[in-house]
Structure 1
């Protein structure tokens, strides 16, 4: 069990279990299966795939938009959880406030995914950093924790 300081009105130090690399990878794989399924449904309605600009296809743009909307909206409106995170019992929480801000979620899920997908080795930071944070978790002041411990914290407030 590790400690994370959530700065609230009472200035409590709360103990959480951080979500490690492999559980986060499993959640991501589940989420990618969901987004791929949604994109394939849309692709079936559109029919033929078209090349729009220099090897960028219509399907590629649709898939990118679905991923962007899915990860951003699910994380924000489900209090830090996507379907993959729900299944694996983890969630994203802020380290310096009670609730994720829309700016944190957008930064983490758009800019963060773009940068980390260009430099895949950055995902490995999760395995070596004490709080098991990715680069974007560090920049956006977020951390991924086991959901059951977080819900216990919320119930005890």
Structure 2
């Protein structure tokens, strides 16, 4: 079955949703656990949440049966191997670290999705993955 690749804007909004979730939860946790009023910048609870979101949301959920972060799930996207199968935890971890390369030099690794026919980012090419629309039958 041919899977339709997800383009730049839908992937951008999925990342925006993930960032929004992290920001809201970080502010909530920072306000709950802060040592003194106005000390949000130095809140370790917000940092711990962001770290946990990265591990759970980006690495685990992408390799799980959900095949993506909450933003991708909400927008009907999934991360798969080039053959369409679910990625494993090792590939998901590699993809997470490959994000750093995609963000280097003005996010060119992300922007290239808009200009490539196969809609692959730099981290997709490095890890042999694709972001595609979910099959409704799943």
Smaller-chain TM-score range? 0.7 to 0.9
1:88 aligns with 2:75: yes
Evaluate the alpha carbon distance shift between residue 115 and residue 61 of structure 1 in structure 2; reply closer, same or farther with a 3 A threshold. Answer: farther
Question: Is the CA contact 2:18–2:69 (under 8 Å) kept in the aligned structure 1?
Answer: yes
Q: Which of 102, 112, 116 is matched with 2:98 structurally?
A: 112
- Structure 2 length as normaliser, TM-score? 0.80
**How has the CA–CA distance of structure 1 residues 51 and 19 changed in structure 2, closer, same or farther, with 3 Å as cutoff?**
closer
Alignment of 1:132 onto 2:94 = no
Structure 2: distance between partners of 1:15 and 1:97: 9
Deviations 1:37-67 (A, max 9, x none): 2222221232144878xxxx74674354134
CA apart distance, 1:84? 1.1
Q: Deviations over 1:117-150 (max 9, x none)?
A: 33312211111122101111011110011112xx
Quote the Cα distance in structure 1 between the aligned partners of 2:72 and 2:51: 20
TM-score (norm 1): 0.72
Describe the SS at the equivalent of 1:137.
Answer: helix
Whether the 8 Å contact between 1:93 and 1:144 is mirrored in structure 2 is yes
Partners of 2:29 and 2:60 lie apart in 1 by 19
Alpha-carbon contact 1:36-1:63 (below 8 Å) kept? no
Question: Which residue of structure 1 aligns with residue 108 of structure 2?
Answer: 121
Query: Please, which runs of 5 or more residues in structure 1 have no aligned partner?
Result: 1-13
Cα RMSD over matched residues? 2.5
| CA positional deviation for 1:85 | 1.1
Residue 16 of structure 1 and its aligned partner are, at CA, apart by 1.5
> 1:18 touches 1:145 (CA, 8 Å); kept in 2?
yes
